[in-house]
Chain A
Amino acid sequence: MNSYNVFYSSVTDRADPCLSEHGVRVPLLFPRIEDHRNGVTAEPDFVLYDGETVVLVEIKSGNNLDQRHVEQLRRNDAIDIRTAEETLHSAQVRERTEHSGDAFAVETAIVYQDLDETYIQEASDASEQFRSTLRELTEYGVVMTQGRGETLRPVAGTFEADGVVQRLLSDGITLPTNPPDQILLTENMECEILAIAVADIWGEAALDSDDGKTVSRNEVRDYFAPRHNVSLDDLSLVFEFLTEYGACECVDRDEHRYEFRHEHVRRVLGVESVLMEQTVEEYLHGSEQSTLFDDYS
């Protein structure tokens, strides 16, 4: 989750240079891109588009290279210009940005945390597996590194074309030390992450209306689908937790409808803190000790 925020900051004015000042837009987050002609489905995390080039970006939360990453990158790489343009079109890029929706190149990149040159050298020396995975990754895209307060830059592989966004990324982007906490979603939506996301997305929105914000379990599931397969059971648990914790109120048990109001806001803000100490299950049923969810790093 935090790796997404680190990358996201590269497109904001707090990064140097600021990609958006050069016309780079982020029209989509976590899309599912389907190429029916070639039978490929790609699920990059970010789509960047500068009017000419589409960059499909995969974000990883550490510097651990895995064979599965190669497969993900291969699928992203298989997306052709025509499919990319169709994706931009369905994202209403022409209406929502200053760009036409035409693409002349599709680039793929995979971004790791703290995969700097020293680490690569040491890991390459130590492990044949590492060397070969890195090599395979570069067949399908550019391998990049990022970090808070560090420079987002390529460390292996090269871009296919020489456009504006490729040059900017190649030259490196200095990232802010404390990037905004904007993106709430992860690949695996455990209950704890889901609870925080639900509280943040609907809970704070209650401030913008006198009547608060009402949402149903189905609406929440639809919001996260299809990219995030969130089960209704998980959502029931999440809402049970949020209600018990005091972040919302159940207004229709049969319809599974919940209401977030002004008076819930303090609790809404506190959800993350509470779930640092225990899981949703533990909070509700006070079961035996369990580890903090390890993905939260």
Chain B
Amino acid sequence: MDTPPSTFQNKSTREVFHELVDSVVKSDEEMSDKSTRGGDQTDLNVYLCDNHGFEIGEIDHWVTKLAEDDSLTGHTESYIDEHSISETVADDRLSVVTITTPAKNREDEFVFVTNEQYLWVLTTVHSEWRQKTIENFLNYLPCVERLYLSSADLEQLNDGIADARVSGFTAKYHAPNRKRDATLQFSGAEADDLRRAEETFNAKPTRIEFDQTNSPTTAIQGANNNDGRVTLQSVRDGSETKAVDTLLGLTHEYQRLDKAKFEVRHSPDTEVVGSSYAVSGSTAVELVSPDRSEVTDSELVEEIVETVLNGNRYSYEERDLGRKLRVFDVECDETFDIAPEAPDIVLYARATTTALSLRAFVRRVYERLDSTYRLQKSETSMLDG
């Protein structure tokens, strides 16, 4: 990235985006030359993360913390050994973080922007290197988690882009226990293809590519991924403002959709009221109506235990006379309850639960157990209304 960090000092979000959008501006020839998307060209990627404690200027603190944490896995240890991470602060909302990989003689730059409860990471680094550098780092940071959208929400996000059409997508289908597995990758898609993929294979989109016009030519090409990443692939010279508008619109809508499903607005805190008690709220995230054969509560729990709760992240115990599993998410230090209502899975928030643990669990259900669930949240305020 050619832009020095000082360029971003005290700039508004819009100005920061403008600065970076300029790097993906393409000429007419370049835009029409492209037969497939991706490849060698420069994309602008925006990672959208839920932020529970990261502040600009604290990279050193977090890297040290990771390096000193004995409980971490080999992967994290290797990562810390193989990369060095430095930060140049532009102002209290923005910094440029450089991840250096000495073995490959690479220095990759990422713009970190904190925005209310979110962290955005913007970069033009190539896909392969993004995964090795920033994606791993964001994964290891305990206070930060990439947003996540169900397929239905991803489609809704895309439908909201003005003057745009779907030009490609990736859609996936996992049956319980991945006995049956499909990934469809579609480029040059036509209007009905997404719907047909769903109808024929029950494959739901995890990535949707779009072409957005600016009277009447295609001015912007981009993609939305369900795992907290929005991409701008090409912007026609002259359409930079529209591209920035689109990007800002997408980030806000992405955040809104993620929040609607995962944010615990009404935590079940028990308060002592005079000489008695009250519970302030109730929040449940529900995975419902999967496309599967009959299953009992105990069979479903067994599947969850084997495919979703396996590994180091979770610890769990039976509660409520075996009707529930109380789960401890070691990574984000939170507990929540899994209540099977076979074939549906209900997650009840406890006083310690935030979006971090709910989102991570839901994502694992979709990727490891069953991709056909519909996601919804029910929430109640016991006191405020």
Q: Which residues of A come within 8 Å of B, CB atoms?
A: 2, 5, 8, 11-14, 18, 20, 23, 25-32, 90-92, 96-98, 176-183, 201, 204-205, 207-208, 223, 225-227, 262, 265-266, 269-270, 272-273, 276, 296
Contact = CB atoms under 8 A, between A and B. Distances in A.
B153 to A, nearest CB: 19
Interface of B: 268, 270, 272-279, 282, 284, 297, 315-321, 323-324, 326, 328, 333-335, 337, 339-341, 346, 348, 350-352, 378-385
Contacts of B297: 178
A27 B273 contact: yes
A269 B328 contact: yes
Nearest to B333: A207
B333 A32 contact: no
A265 B270 CA distance: 19
B380 A11 contact: yes
9 contacts: A27-B273, A29-B278, A96-B384, A178-B346, A180-B268, A180-B284, A182-B282, A207-B335, A225-B275
Nearest to A87: B274
Contact of B321 (A25, A183, A265, A296): A296
B346 A98 contact: no
B238 to A, nearest CB: 48
Nearest to A185: B277
A176 B284 CA distance: 12
B317 A13 contact: no
A23 B384 CA distance: 9
Given A180-B284, A183-B279, A266-B315, 7 more contacts: A11-B382, A14-B346, A28-B278, A179-B339, A181-B319, A181-B320, A269-B328
Given A2-B321, A178-B340, A207 B334 contact: yes
Contacts of A182: 268, 279, 282
Contact of B274 (A8, A90, A223, A266): A90
Contacts of A31: 274-276
Contact of A262 (B284, B324, B333, B384): B333
Given A26-B382, A28-B278, A31-B275, A2 B320 contact: yes
B263 to A, nearest CB: 14
Nearest to B350: A204
Nearest to A181: B320
Contacts of B319: 181, 269, 272-273
A296 B319 CA distance: 12
Given A2-B321, A98-B385, A30 B282 contact: no
B328 A29 contact: no
A145 B150 CA distance: 38
Given A27-B383, A207-B334, A225-B275, A176 B341 contact: yes
> Which of A12, A14, A20, A270 counts the most B-chain CB atoms under 10 A from its CB?
A12
A60 B303 CA distance: 35
Nearest to B338: A178
A92 B384 CA distance: 12
Contacts of B335: 204, 207, 265, 269
A20 B328 contact: no
A242 to B, nearest CB: 15
Contact of B348 (A177, A181, A208): A181
B346 A91 contact: no
B382 A181 contact: no
Contacts of B274: 31, 90-91
A26 B381 CA distance: 10
A269 B326 contact: yes
A98 B315 contact: no
Nearest to B323: A178
Contacts of B273: 27-28, 91-92
A227 B318 contact: no
A12 B282 contact: yes
Contact of A26 (B278, B323, B379): B278
